[in-house]
Chain A
Amino acid sequence: MQKQWTAVIRPKNNLLDLKLKEVWKYRDLVRLFVVRDFKTRYKQTILGPLWFIIQPLFTTVIYNFVFGNIAGLSTDGMPGFLFYMAGNVPWLYFSTCITNTSNTFVNNAAVFGKVYFPRLTTPISTVITSVLNFLIQFAMFLIFWVYFIIQGAPIQINWVAALTPVFVIQMAILGMGFGIIISSLTTKYRDLQVLVSFGVSLWMYATPVIYSSSTLSPKMYTALMLNPMSPIIELMRYGWLGAGKTPFVFWGISWVTTFIVLFLGIIIFNKVEKTFMDTV
């Protein structure tokens, strides 16, 4: 009779084995990582969680001043401040997801080198921790949103706003997908780390965060919408403010891209995970 082993360790595993079952078994660990990160991040700081608010608030003010007042870009008839904040808050979440997961291996080398647990739990917990930041920032957005409605701005909320959680989940998946690809590459090439913050800020300009896609030519518009982040930002803004509708086809394409990135990401991540301790 063939013996049933709990685990067999071999040099190479099946590439398509995503090991998601194992991650599920360690879900308690993901939760504890989130709790840990949240508890420790703002210990021994003056402003604590206020930092979550200060950052998007200041960038929004600056965008409003530079792009709205000086450059005079169109905001689809919306109050500039709200328009920029509606783009900025989700974008900030996405960029946090990428940058924070992109150093998974390098940052956790000490722990990874000593004990085994499904490595994917680390980026997943990072992304979840960031959701909490996002919620605080989003609450701030809602306060301004209510304020501008009272002020009589032409804001029309519609059913797309109800999709907000779906948008957040998609940004989490997309951000983590890119993040873990980068983190896998940085085990060998440290200088890619520099590229990340640089690349993410460039990417923002290829996404309608500080401008509206309605001002673009049809060709440019299609190109812009192939960027998986564009439909998310535009649709979210449309849902809450009612300006600048994007066809849902592009959102479908965006989902396809998201899953491809995630799938590729996990495959590369699992491959690197096995031996990265030897190279990091």
Chain B
Amino acid sequence: MPEEKDIAIQINGLKKRYRLGVIGGGTLQGDIQSWWARVRGKEDPNLKIGKVAGNRNETFMALDGIDLTVYKGERLGIIGHNGAGKSTLLKLLSRVTAPTEGEICIDGRISSMLEVGTGFNRELTGRENIYLNGAILGMTTAEVDSKIEQIIEFSECAKFIDTPVKRYSSGMYVKLAFAVAAHLDSEILIMDEVLAVGDMAFQQKCLGKMSDVSTTEGRTVLYVSHNMNTIRQLCDRCIVMEHGKIIFNGDVEEAISVYMNSAFKKTSYIDLLEVKRAKEYMGEKARIKSFEFIKNKASFLHDEEIEFCVKLIANQPLSNMRIRLEISYADMTKIGISESKTFSKIDEGENEFYFSYKPGILPKGKYIIALDLYGFGDNFTHQTIDHPVYNIGFEILDNEGEKLVWNHNYMGHVRLGTIVCDNMIHLRGQNNG
């Protein structure tokens, strides 16, 4: 059992409450109006129609009693769905906002990277930004001086270091920002999915650097990600959060399976009309209204056909459309894509499409579909018309009479075709030699 002196972060009964809805009127005049109306016992003129006055003080617990101890030199992964409270926890740790209840005790300096290039100024050069960003993260100029060569080398931007960063590509931006954060002399490093940007090689380099600083320099790393592979690679302990609570704390693999099971919502009908789109303009020409598994279930046998119905509202006649399914494993690893044939014409208005699809190669497990509607041009151009950001979950079960042990970590996510044995010849018995 590690001793108390080895604790880097101690969190006791941490809670964070947010008020729902608009806080105050936003303008002094609005607040005074509301106040005056309340005094006279009249209805608040600033309330939205249909809202009851009581709603005003409805609250939401983003963190609901977190207890956590992190020891020095640990690499702790934090996973959970959007809205589970991960980012709020990191915000509290990096002192961006204060908790409602509870306390956090920290031993050591914290440097946090909740977003890449925080405080970068577009007009300044890379070198100037290193100093500025270093100072924002708590380094003195002298400290940056002693590390600047390492930082520039790590960032792979040496050639452009005296160019204003507004001319940088987004990848270079990230590299530079990460280089600064990674070379800070802080004892605790907080990272929130900063590696999502940047190319593969650099991601690997960053992960290497992070485990390096942890093992050789004994620095503590807290890492939030939706990418299970980087969590696997980097972390030696992992917590899973849900609804502002820690629901699991321990081994990384176990944590990932806990997360995947909680991630997974199997529903046969999904309304996609109001779901967020991947880009602002998507869903304007046509909008996917809903997705439905027809047999009222989202579990299928390995060789069963998946039948589903997609409803589409077209705001104008469309031609040469295709629908595709982007299929991922439940830990968000992409597996592959299936496309429909081309619809040469889709009429304006509401349309229903009935599809059937036989994946065949997916072994037992939980999967996620993302829908994509796109125009398929003459020159094989691809223009996305609608792409609702929603993970449609489904499950593949073993065929009847088959019991397959399938470990997705070691065996992959695809069950390739059966090896066909064309002929088997018995040559001779053992004793007849």
Contacts and interface: CB of A to CB of B under 8 A. Distances in A.
B24 A188 contact: yes
Given A8-B103, A116-B112, A275 B136 contact: no
B121 to A, nearest CB: 6
B114 to A, nearest CB: 5
B137 A115 contact: yes
Contact of A3 (B4, B91, B93): B4
B106 A115 contact: no
Contact of B95 (A40, A116, A276): A116
Contacts of B118: 111, 114-115
A277 interface: yes
Contacts of B91: 113, 277
A7 B108 CA distance: 8
Given A190-B27, A191-B29, A6 B96 contact: no
B25 to A, nearest CB: 8
Interface in A9-39: 9-12, 26, 28-29, 31-33, 35-36, 39
Contact of A189 (B7, B31, B108, B123): B31
B309 to A, nearest CB: 42
A36 B96 contact: no
B141 A28 contact: yes
A114 to B, nearest CB: 4
A115 B94 contact: yes
A40 B124 contact: yes
Nearest to B144: A28
Contacts of A219: none
Interface string B3-31: 01101000000000011000110111101
B98 A11 contact: yes
B115 interface: yes
A26 to B, nearest CB: 7
Contacts of A189: 24, 26-28, 31
Given A9-B106, A39-B123, A275-B97, A28 B140 contact: yes
Contacts of A9: 92-93, 95, 98-99, 103-106
Contacts of B131: 32
Nearest to B95: A116
Most B CB atoms within 10 A — which of A8, A10, A28, A188? A28
B106 A6 contact: yes
Given A10-B99, A115-B119, A116-B95, A3 B107 contact: yes
A10 B24 CA distance: 25
A7 B139 CA distance: 17
A32 B107 contact: no
A237 B186 CA distance: 51
Given A3-B4, A28-B141, A192-B28, A112 B107 contact: no
A6 B107 contact: yes
A120 to B, nearest CB: 14
Interface in A106-124: 111-117
Nearest to A35: B128
B132 interface: yes
A279 B24 CA distance: 9
A115 B112 contact: yes
A38 B80 CA distance: 43
Given A32-B132, A112-B96, A116-B96, A11 B107 contact: no
B348 interface: no
Nearest to B28: A189
A4 B4 CA distance: 11
A92 to B, nearest CB: 25
B135 interface: yes
Given A5-B105, A43-B123, A190 B136 contact: no
B28 A26 contact: no
Contacts of A4: 107
30 contacts: A3-B4, A3-B107, A9-B106, A10-B99, A11-B99, A28-B135, A28-B139, A29-B135, A31-B141, A32-B132, A32-B135, A32-B141, A36-B132, A39-B124, A40-B121, A112-B96, A114-B112, A114-B119, A115-B96, A115-B114, A115-B119, A188-B23, A189-B27, A189-B31, A191-B28, A192-B28, A278-B18, A278-B19, A278-B23, A279-B24
Given A9-B99, A32-B132, A117-B138, 20 more contacts: A3-B4, A5-B105, A7-B110, A9-B92, A9-B103, A11-B101, A28-B139, A29-B135, A33-B132, A36-B132, A39-B123, A39-B124, A40-B123, A111-B119, A115-B94, A115-B136, A116-B110, A117-B136, A278-B18, A278-B23
Going nearest first, the 5 A-B pairs with the smallest beta carbon separation are A116-B95, A274-B98, A29-B135, A189-B28, A9-B104
Interface of A: 3-12, 26, 28-29, 31-33, 35-36, 39-40, 43, 111-117, 188-192, 274-279
Interface of B: 4-5, 7, 18-19, 23-24, 26-29, 31, 91-110, 112-115, 118-119, 121, 123-124, 128, 131-132, 135-141
